Amino acid sequence: MSSPRIGVLALQGDTREHLAALGEAGAKATTVRRRAELDAVDGLVIPGGESTTMSHLLRDFDLLEPLRARLADGLPAYGACAGMILLASEILDAGTKGREALPLKGIDMTVRRNAFGRQVDSFEGDIAFQGLDSPVRAVFIRAPWVERIGKGVQVLARAAGHIVAVRQGAVLATAFHPEVTGDRRVHQLFVDIVSAHS
């Protein structure tokens, strides 16, 4: 099978690092900023960044409802940090009214924004990740955690007792940033999910 075409939502956040990681994992990686670009991809990565800003940009670029619709229709997606927040069905501490993070409802879960603390509380460590043969180096930057999961949501990793990686069907999310470590196994997992889905 040919390499899957995977987009990286390029409105805000660490787009370049995800494009590089996806390329190294065998995907045709491309940026997504417009509806036509969203319609053309087999899977989508929602990078880290600032979830309230990303929500507003999704609205400004007329991508919010089309993205929700594609997720509801089965589009494979992977969200890291802010991407995890946006993929949730419910967001705690979502922000002030009119400037809040907006759930895309890709995974049946409740996520708390900035759960591990502020920028100064950022940390990294090795964590076990279900399905991988050795721990992953997880970099947490103003990271969320998952407070509730619904039926059919698989927990892939925990840190400090909290859920930090999940999967539901073809949708994957991590509270940490694998794109900054050089370990491509999480991106490879997502490329394999998209390939199998296609």
Q: pLDDT tens digits, the chain, 198 residues: what are they?
A: 589 999 999 999 889 999 999 999 999 999 999 999 999 999 999 999 999 999 999 999 999 999 999 999 999 999 999 999 999 999 998 777 778 899 999 999 999 987 776 665 578 899 999 999 999 999 998 899 999 999 999 999 999 899 999 999 999 999 999 999 989 999 999 999 999 997
Give dist(CA 94, CA 129) in Å, integer: 27
Q: Note the pLDDT of residue 75.
A: 98
Token representation of residue 169: 């069907």
Question: Is 104 in contact with 86 (CB distance < 8 Å)?
Answer: yes
Q: Note the pLDDT of residue 52.
A: 93
CB atoms within 10 A of CB 96: 7
51 annotated to a ligand binding site: yes
Q: Note the pLDDT of residue 114.
A: 78
Domain range enclosing 59? 5-197
Q: For residue 98, give the CATH number of its domain.
A: 3.40.50.880
Q: Residue 196, exposed/middle/buried by CB under 10 A (0-12, 13-18, 19+)?
A: exposed
DSSP state of 57: H
Q: Note the pLDDT of residue 115.
A: 79
CB atoms within 10 A of CB 118: 8
100 annotated to a ligand binding site: no
C-alpha closest to that of 42 among 16, 9, 10, 3: 3
DSSP state of 179: G
34 annotated to a ligand binding site: no
113 annotated to a ligand binding site: yes
Provide the number of structural domains found in the chain: 1
Question: Is 148 in contact with 108 (CB distance < 8 Å)?
Answer: no
149 annotated to a ligand binding site: no
Q: Note the pLDDT of residue 117.
A: 65
Give dist(CA 170, CA 161) in Å, integer: 25
Active site (catalytic) residues:
81, 177, 179
